[in-house]
Structure 1
Amino acid sequence: MTDPALRRTLNAAGLPTTGHFLPKAGWVSRVWVGDEYVVRLTNGQFRDAYRHEAAVVDLLAGSEVPHAQHVAHGNGPDGPWYVSERLPGQTLYDAWPTADPHTRRAMIESLGTALSALHRIPVPPDLLPPWLTDALAGKPWPAYHPPVVSATLHLVEAAQRLPGHDSRLLADVTDWIQERLALFATDHPVLVHGDLHGSNVIVDQGRVTGIIDFAEALAQPADAELDTILRWCARSREYPPTPDEQGLDETTLTELPGWLRGVYPELFEREQLRERLNFYDMYSELALHAHHPQPEVREAAQGRIARLLSGHNHLDGLVW
């Protein structure tokens, strides 16, 4: 073991500094995968993300939700760190390309069972990651998901403060949102993972051994989870495990929504589901348009907002 940051983190967690650990890259974390433990280290951009994740994983204790047990977390000279148990298997992203259709279906059906169990976990109705609470209060946005229905109009206000904003477009967006808020008036919030795609699911021999990375988990309607899953199916190339890799080929995921619906039909049974999913999409695009630091990304999001106002988005080509 040669990495001093890994050694310091294991010491802080009270774990042996011996053994083999494989370093892996991530979007915001350094990761080491050992025989028994997985160690993550981040730069602190997401305030209290690991403390939040530890609290959410504690909610899962004794449940039927497959997950990696929390071992320890804290802050050190190298930044915030989190240690969890090592789960058997590999990510769904890694397993998918070589899996045969039968195994792919089995993995998705297992995921549906896991999600159904997750959405039955009792959850505080105001559960939000601290970094997302900060973002909604006007501080920098480190990520642009998951959707928070009650904050959608605030995103319009943020977009209206952009230099050179399209006031007519945003006025139309405001009307569009206000016409649809009633769709969520009687919702019962559940525990939603918030960033569910192939890199955050561990599988082994055709079954899910764990859903991982609960740093974005929050209390929202269950179909907010479906929004992320269908977005991943439609635009999976945008969901690589690291910025330097490529996401999965969308054409290999066409049957995923149907398999998921077969085992977890309640997730698809909300009245006016398409309009609700469109609303979540509007939230995501507004967050990008209002807060992303790159002008070209903000402009692309504005184009997708205009397309959504005309009734079209990434859901058009999906069978679900």
Structure 2
Amino acid sequence: MSASGTTPASPDGPLYPGGMTFPTMPERLKHVCSAAALVPRTAPHRIESQSNDTWVLDDARLGSVVLRICWRGDVSRMGRETAVLERLPDTVRRPVVVGHGDTTAHGHPLSYSLTRRLTGQPLEDAWPALSTAERRSAIRRTASMLRALHRWVPPAELADGVCARPGLAAGTADDLVGADIAPLPVARAVALAEHVARTPHGDAGLMSAAVQLLRALGDPEPAVDDPGRHGLIHGDLNLSNLWWAPDGTVSLMDFEWTRIAPPSLELMRMCEYADDDAVNEADTYPSVLRLLETEYPELFRAEDIARHVRLYVLAYSVRALAIAPPDGPADSLPSGHAVHRVRRIVDGRWPAPGALPDSLVAAV
């Protein structure tokens, strides 16, 4: 499975299920440039991205823009992201949308968005060189945007569109992986764990224990996809999706995994990274979480947040196993493989000591 849940062996694999030719990256770029009437004045520059093709290009009509091409999983998420970006309040800094649409290549659906290119760099890249005051300012600005986002009440039709998941109709593992970065409600994560157990090197015992814990942590389950109870979250909050400008302003990037969910779900990726940092004796994300708690304390005081954070990271880790199932015994896999995180969560050894603020650590 690919990073967003489709099945080609590689981004440029020759065949798609059913024998359909799968478009290569250059073909995807060519089809989208044609559909969007783009005329790059210089060769587009590719930016690393986990779930899309992302390009910086200088267009004859639009100038300097970022083009993102969605081709894996539920490609309708690009339309949801665009609708959100166009309606968010000004207090949530984000790129300006200048174009979006859908097309096909070799019969395979593609969606795309075009945004004005921002000056600066991802906060992840800027962080090591920032002073203590600059880091605190960056997280203070981030907290302010998150608070505004979480308090915003989207129009009913937008909320309904954000909740729609047309790709889930078939209910396959690919569909579940491609729908959301956090496979919730819990039934989705359970289905993925059961799928992983059936893979050649899946640990059926571990997956059975993961299913039991998912159900225990999800009782009562934190509501998702319910506009009557919650508003929007970004959905993939981490330093690479925060943009640091030379004047110290911060913008939120990449809303493709946005959804209606409790604000606490916003902490999922940062907690995952913080645990990884603690295991590897680094302090980037542990310090980011401590700063964020200072600037947005109410986010860390949600009812049952420690239990919910553990649920979120377990569900996310099970999804990671569905994307990249073990290809051998656990002791032969790299230390960063998701199977080790799932084992530690199930055994009560997650998070690593010092990784998370005390407010996020559940007693086991």
Task: Name the TM-score, length of structure 1 as normaliser.
Answer: 0.79
- Specify which of 301, 318, 324 is matched with residue 286 of structure 1: 318
- Specify which of 273, 298, 320 is matched with residue 305 of structure 2: 273
> 1:171, CA displacement in angstroms?
3.4
- Specify which of 68, 92, 101 is matched with residue 65 of structure 1: 92
8 Å CA contact 2:120, 2:245 repeated in 1: yes
User: 1:258 corresponds to which residue?
Assistant: 290
C-alpha separation between the residues in 1 aligned to 2:245 and 2:34? Answer: 30
User: 2:189 corresponds to which residue?
Assistant: 152
Code of the residue aligned with 1:55 in structure 2: it is A
- Specify which of 204, 208, 212 is matched with residue 245 of structure 2: 204
Task: Flag the 1:157–1:25 CA change in 2: closer, same or farther, 3 A.
Answer: closer
C-alpha separation between the residues in 2 aligned to 1:7 and 1:289? Answer: 33
C-alpha separation between the residues in 2 aligned to 1:153 and 1:191? Answer: 24
Task: Name the TM-score, length of structure 2 as normaliser.
Answer: 0.70
8 Å CA contact 2:241, 2:254 repeated in 1: yes
C-alpha separation between the residues in 1 aligned to 2:355 and 2:119? Answer: 32
Task: Flag the 1:235–1:49 CA change in 2: closer, same or farther, 3 A.
Answer: same
User: 1:313 corresponds to which residue?
Assistant: 350
- Specify which of 93, 111, 119 is matched with residue 88 of structure 1: 119
Give the gaps of 5 or more residues in structure 1: 238-247
- SS of equivalent to 1:139: helix
Give the gaps of 5 or more residues in structure 2: 1-25, 358-364
Code of the residue aligned with 1:222 in structure 2: it is P
Code of the residue aligned with 1:38 in structure 2: it is V
C-alpha separation between the residues in 2 aligned to 1:54 and 1:21? Answer: 22
- What CA RMSD, in Å, does the superposition of the two structures yield over aligned residues? 3.7
Code of the residue aligned with 1:26 in structure 2: it is S
The higher-RCO structure (CA 8 Å, 6+ apart) is 1
1:110 matched to 2:141? The reply is: yes
C-alpha separation between the residues in 2 aligned to 1:162 and 1:6? Answer: 34
Task: Flag the 1:134–1:105 CA change in 2: closer, same or farther, 3 A.
Answer: farther
User: 1:222 corresponds to which residue?
Assistant: 263
- Specify which of 72, 75, 81 is matched with residue 53 of structure 1: 81
> 1:72, CA displacement in angstroms?
0.8
User: 1:38 corresponds to which residue?
Assistant: 66
What is the count of residue pairs matched by the alignment? Answer: 308
8 Å CA contact 2:236, 2:269 repeated in 1: yes
Greater than 6 Å deviation, 4+ residue runs: 3-8
State the percentage of identical aligned residues.
22
C-alpha separation between the residues in 1 aligned to 2:356 and 2:66? Answer: 36
Larger deviation, residues 112-121 vs 168-177: 168-177
